[in-house]
Structure 1
Amino acid sequence: MPAGVLISLDSPSANWTRRFWVLLAAVLVFRVLFTLFFCAHADLSGDEAYYWDWGRRPDWGYYSKPPMIGWIMGVIGHFAGACDIAVRLTALTLGTLTLAALFALTRMLYDARTGFIAAVLVLLTPANTGLNLFLTIDAPLLLCWSLALLLFWFATTKPQCWWRWLTLAVVIGIGTLSKQMMLVFPVLMVAFAALSPEDRPLLKNVRMWVSIILGATFLIPVILWQQKHHWITLEHTAHHFDTESLGVVKWLTRTLEWPFVQALLYSPVTWAVMVVVVWCGMKHWKAAGRRERYLLLCTAPALVIFTLLALRQRINPNWPAVFWVPPLLLAAAWFAGHLTLPGLPRAQAWRTWSLRISGGMVLVAHLGVAIVFGAELKVHKKLDEELKKWRETGVAAGEYLDKVPRPDHTFVMALGHRYNAAQLAFSMPQHPRLYRWESSGHPMSQYEIWPGPEERIGDDGLIFSPKALPPTVAECFESVEKVGKVEVQLGEKSRLFDVYLGRNLKHWSAIPSTQPPLPKS
């Protein structure tokens, strides 16, 4: 979009609002078409198929995540079945609503022109492209976080209004059911009330505390589920903070990975703008206005913590996603001329290069995806294995299930990574209930939380194994025979499953969920 469109100062708010909705509609149409193209050439990612399988058994918790992503997938499965287009369009819907919420927030904080600039900055980040293409737990979290930012500020403008606080409570509650990171938001609410002189009366406002408490009550069923399952998600999450002793070179490489990856996700110049704005804002905290202090408080402490954490361990790229939202809005305010903190350079050159670089990166990303998947080019091994030709794999696997001698008394099992079970469950035409064998004897996925083949004693087992069948599995059956293989070419390599039919399951040792999961390799 030409930079001149963004810097017109004489357009009324209604015109910029109208421009935003036109922009949003145009982007939505493009992304729907791109999603349809992508779904025609790429399958669900392993995590998406895994969460879809969760959706077939709705619960108040799962092995590694709160329940919301499973519930969303359950709704998709109920209405659309095993439809990858429905999964991807749900991600697009959540991302579009998030963008609308951020526009509304920025317009409330500043004006519609600044909101339009903020929307453009968000759209021109590679991270936003991915968010709208893959349905992960970050999609509902970012929507809830953006709405919470909007609703809390809205509530502070009329703190005696109960319905504003109650609406915020619902959003906080839904957010906590989406991802644990949402638990930070009530802390930020209290911190802002304490540190903003104009907002200290909120600390005595019963409505704010009621909203926090009501939001927290959404966790009660989750906590009861966790207690029943021996706090399995906490055990899993704790392993994210495991560290190891590294040499200087490897330590430096791992540490620098944190800013490098974040710069790629948000485009280098835009990321640099966000860092500069946050740095100057915190350095001149007293000179910052109330709205700037609000946005700074919702980002700076968290980014400092992640930076320090990067000194001791690897940071997953999506962990700080919600904390980059306020800096994007501050960058938009700077570009629009609303932010004039000491130490900030002139915005014009930064704005021009931010739009150019980020726009170029997003364009290259879309063209790259279109070329790679449209022409079926060989790319990274992990990308090929995870996104390509699972449909063909599932159809081939389903042919073996059609031929079993006792179809009503045959279960399906997958060995190896949890993605094998998830992808087969999604892609096989019969969409069978998949069981998984975990060699460690510890719960390492949701498949070990659910009942295993011990509930199918006396039945036959159709087993898909990427390697030779382990004797531990074979001895559980009266007899086992290899009936064939499923092999699908992935460029120079292939996806291979040996197929076994185990007759009459004699016994099976269930994995006790009281054992903590092992660290991931």
Structure 2
Amino acid sequence: MGAESLCAAPGFDFRARLQLAWERFVPRPREKLAPREMTTTRAVWFFIIALTAIRLSMLPTTDLEFDEAHYWMWSERLAPAYFSKGPGIAFAMRASTAVFGANEFGVRFFSPVLAAGTSLLLFYFARRLFSATAGLSAVIALNVTPIFNIGAFLMTIDALSIFFWLAAMFTFWLALEKSPYFTWYSPLTGLLIGLGFLSKYTNAFELVSVLAVLALAPRLRREFARPGLYFLLAMFALCTVPPIVWNAQHAWITLTHLRSRGGVEQGFAVHPFEVLSFLGAHFLAYSPFLFLAIAWGVIASWRRVNQQFKVLFLMWFGLPVFSFYLLLSINKSAAPNWDGLWLA
């Protein structure tokens, strides 16, 4: 049937259909930000650039910590995986030391850079969901958190982990905005989760968050029948190949290590004081005010989780990780940085 026949069909608005098709492939430009939002955005950029410059200047002031030195040794012997971690940290250090040399600055270079990237991602994500003011508040709260500041100075797996977690969270939201149409944000989300997994295996929990959001939001359940989700999973699966192959060649040593670190190697028992230790460590590491504010926010928002999609989305990108380590801490207290992803 030709275009003329379609135009002649009763009830068919050819121009409207053409406009709809055009908007599908060529998104409308975003509306200009209000002057106040522009001012806030500039303030955030200035704050992050200034803070990053200060952090970079401080990198050579102390010797490497044990973990940093350990990861640097890995970077001198690149491999698909290592005894306890994926290869992400080693490749990052190899890149920075290749440019700046095998010194404190070279080893730590990416820690403040990733902290800046995480802060910017958080700002733009919060601005998209709420407002520029909310984004500014989130960035300030993140950067006054003790454990985040440590990660913005010392180069550990957590700097990479939280950056990729938040990046994947953002791209997944963008993918949902395009639903029901396919978008490359879906495979990009899978890639970012995979890169996070190669940095810290805990990042695999983000798949649980993705599936939970799709399953619990009725209008999104059709995504299980669309290709976007499976492109996402396929990209993640590709990223798991290196550590799986390496572990298969090394008697699955990482699984043994994780069982030992989790305290489940000799069985599981209930130890209430371990839970208190877990909560107390979080109370201090994340600052008492922020930890209580987040706890109160979760409790206050629980009734609205099925009424407001933003609440559901944010809730399920934090709960799985925190809940898992809280459950694990019934037996043996988990370190506060193990589940740091819930902060994002």
Provide TM-score, normalisation by structure 2: 0.84
CA deviation vs aligned residue, 1:437-467 (integer Å, no higher than 9, x gap): xxxxxxxxxxxxxxxxxxxxxxxxxxxxxxx
Corresponding position: 1:323 with 2:339: no
| Cα distance in 1 between the residues matched to 2:268 and 2:205 | 31
Question: Which of 184, 194, 219 pairs up with 2:240?
Answer: 219
1: distance between equivalents of 2:267 and 2:199?
33
Deviations 1:421-442 (A, max 9, x none): xxxxxxxxxxxxxxxxxxxxxx
How far residue 32 of structure 1 moved from its aligned partner, in angstroms, is 2.4
Change in CA separation of 1:297 and 1:284 when aligned onto 2, cut-off 3 Å: same
1:213 Cα deviation (Å)?
Answer: 1.4
Q: Determine the structure 2 residue equivalent to 1:428.
A: none
Give identity over the alignment, percent: 27
Alignment match, 2:54: 30
Counterpart in the other structure of 1:154 = 174
Paired residues for 1:229-308 under 5 Å:
229-242=250-263, 251-287=271-307, 289-308=308-327
Instruction: State the secondary structure of the residue aligned to 1:219.
Output: helix
Structure 1 or 2, whichever has the larger Rg, is: 1
The residue aligned with 1:383 is none
**Partner Cα distance (2:88, 2:237) in 1:** 15
Structure 2 distance, partners of 1:292, 1:12, is: 25
* Superposed CA offset, 1:380-413 (max 9, x none): xxxxxxxxxxxxxxxxxxxxxxxxxxxxxxxxxx
Q: Does 1:81 align with 2:101?
A: yes
Residue among 191, 199, 203 paired with 1:178? 199
- Determine the structure 2 residue equivalent to 1:374: none
1:18 maps to 2:47: no
The verdict on how the C-alpha distance between 1:17 and 1:161 changes in structure 2, with shifts beyond 3 A counting, is farther
Query: Residues 145 and 175 of structure 1 are in contact (CA less than 8 Å); yes or no, is this contact kept in structure 2?
Result: yes
- Aligned-partner Cα distance in 1 for 2:259–2:45: 43
TM-aligned CA deviation for residue 280 of structure 1? 2.1
**Where does structure 2 lack aligned partners over 5 or more consecutive residues?**
1-33
Contact 1:166/1:211 (<8 A) preserved:
yes
Check conservation: 1:56, 1:77, Cα contact below 8 A.
no
In the alignment, the residues of structure 2 paired with residue 247 and residue 173 of structure 1 have an alpha-carbon distance, to the nearest angstrom, of 33
Q: Is the 8 A contact 2:194 2:204 kept in 1?
A: no
Q: How does 1:369-518 map to 2 (within 5 A)?
A: none
- Structure 1: tracts of 5 or more residues without a match: 1-9, 326-521
Cα distance in 2 for residues equivalent to 1:214 and 1:286: 30
Output one character per residue of 1:105-149: Cα deviation in whole Å (capped at 9) or x when no partner: 111111111111100110111111101011011111110001011
CA distance in 2 between counterparts of 1:104 and 1:157 reads: 15
* Corresponding residue number in structure 2 for 1:67: 87
State which drifts further: 295-304 or 115-124: 295-304
Partners of 2:185 and 2:238 lie apart in 1 by 18
Distance 1:80 1:181 in 2: 30
How far apart are the structure 2 equivalents of 1:305 and 1:226?
24
Q: How many residues are matched?
A: 309
Q: Would the alpha carbon gap of residues 88 and 103 (structure 1) be closer, same or farther in structure 2, given more than 3 Å must change?
A: same
SS at match of 2:306: helix
Contact 1:241 1:313 in 2 (8 A): yes
Of Structure 1 and Structure 2, the greater helix share is in 2
| RMSD (Å) for aligned C-alpha atoms | 2.1
Match of 1:195 in 2: 216
* Higher share in strand: 1
- Distance in structure 1 (CA, Å) of the matches to 2:306 and 2:52: 40
Aligned to 1:5: none
Instruction: Determine helix, strand or coil for the equivalent of 1:12.
Output: helix
**Separation in structure 2 between the aligned mates of residue 317 and residue 101 of structure 1, nearest angstrom:** 23
Query: Normalising by the residue count of structure 1, what TM-score does the alignment of the two structures yield?
Result: 0.57
The SS at the match of 1:53 is helix
Alpha-carbon offset, residue 252 of structure 1: 4.6
